[in-house]
Every structure is written in C-alpha cells, then in structure tokens.
Amino acid sequence: MRVMPRIVFATARAMDWVPLGVAALVSVLITAWGFTGPYVDTDLLAVSLRSAAVLLGAAAGFGLTDAAENTTAASPVPRWMRQWTRTLLAGAAAAAAWGVAYLSVELRLPEEHRGVFAGLPVEAAVVILTGLACTSVVRRWMNGYPAALIGSTVLLVLVAVSLMYRSEFWLWYPPSAPEWEGLHRVWAVLIPLPLLMLVIGNRENPR
C-alpha cells in the first residue's frame, strides 16, 4: 500500500493521454450538436451520447499500451498490478469525460425531458469496459499502438454487429421506443462479460 501512490503516479505519467483527450473533446462537441435544432430530439441526443461512449471506449484502450513493456517486465511490480493501474486510470478518465458530456446534455434539457437518459450510464459503462477489455486481451500477444488499434477495431465491430442484429433484445432502442424502459436491465446483465475479459487480459503472462 505504501508504494501504490508512486506506482499510480509513475503509470499516469507514462500513459499516452492524447487519444483520450481528443475523444473527450469530440464527445462534448457531438453531444452539444444535438441541441442545434429548434426542438429537443431525445432520440438524436441518445445517439450522440452513445456515440460518445463508443468513441471513449475505443480511445481508452490506448491508455493500456506500454512502449516500455519489455523493460518494465523486469521490475518488482507484477504485470497484473501495472495493467490494472492503467485500466483504472484510463477507465476513470473515459468515464469522467462521458459524465461531462452526459451532464452537459442533462442540464440543458427542458423540465419535461429530465431523467429520460438515466439508464445511459449503464450503457456507457459496458461500452467503455468492453473497449478496455478488448485491448487488454490483445496486449497479451503484442505491445504498443497496434494492440490498441486492434482492440478498438474489435469494439467497433462488436458495436456494428449489435446495431445490425435487430431482435427483441436489440441493445440500441431509442428513447421513443416502448422497449426503452426495460432496455438498461439488459445492459446491466452484460457488465460481468467485459469484467471477466479484463481479468483474463490483465493476468500475469505465463513464464
């Protein structure tokens, strides 16, 4: 516990924050774009918030890359600790950026629309965790930007496939759909899946 603050500080300094910073800026901009019309379109705003979550989930994986992996592997700090530190830092930053975008929407909504997006944080959590999980698994075989690019691509493919697969369990119903009220119970059930992937991806490499 005494060395954890040093590990966190050193890890935060070594992480590449540029992709997440760009994604955060774009996320705020695309959610603001949803208010350009004369009327509040909750379906359009939901698309904006969901797009922000996907963008941040894809960018969060870049925080897991470690250009000095071969050097740090010889350090007394185990791999699982380094990887979970990176995961928590990148995940917290992505969640905070999405939270800012969410609040920027929620605080500008007319009174009659307040709370309509209350279930979207569950979606965002699943998407961001999935982006981190995809990259963490890929990182078991490769380091650097290629791992993050592949992880981000896998996330985008999963989102694209889920968008095309329309059924009674479709994950992307708009707020105007009658399925909206129960939709986020389905998303909540999905949370253990990316967490399990993170456990697998962040464990020690076999020696």
Closest CA to 81 of 4, 13, 143: 4
DSSP result, 50-115: HHHHHHHHHHHGGGG--TTHHHHTTSSS-HHHHHHHHHHHHHHHHHHHHHHHHHHHHTTS-GGGTT
Query: For the chain, what are the domain ranges?
Result: 4-201
Find all residues with CB under 8 Å of 138, minimum gap 6, and list them. Answer: 147, 148, 150, 151, 154, 201
Per-run averaged pLDDT (10 residues), the chain, 207 residues: 71 86 92 67 89 96 74 64 91 96 86 84 96 93 87 95 83 91 90 95 73
Residue-wise over 79-113: b if at least 16 C-beta within 10 A, else e? bebbbbbbbebbbebbbebbeebbebbbeebeeee
**Amino acid 82: pLDDT:** 84
Task: Specify the pLDDT at position 36.
Answer: 56
pLDDT of residue 44: 87
Handedness of CA 104, 107, 111, 113 (dihedral sign): positive
What pLDDT is stored for residue 68 in this prediction? 55
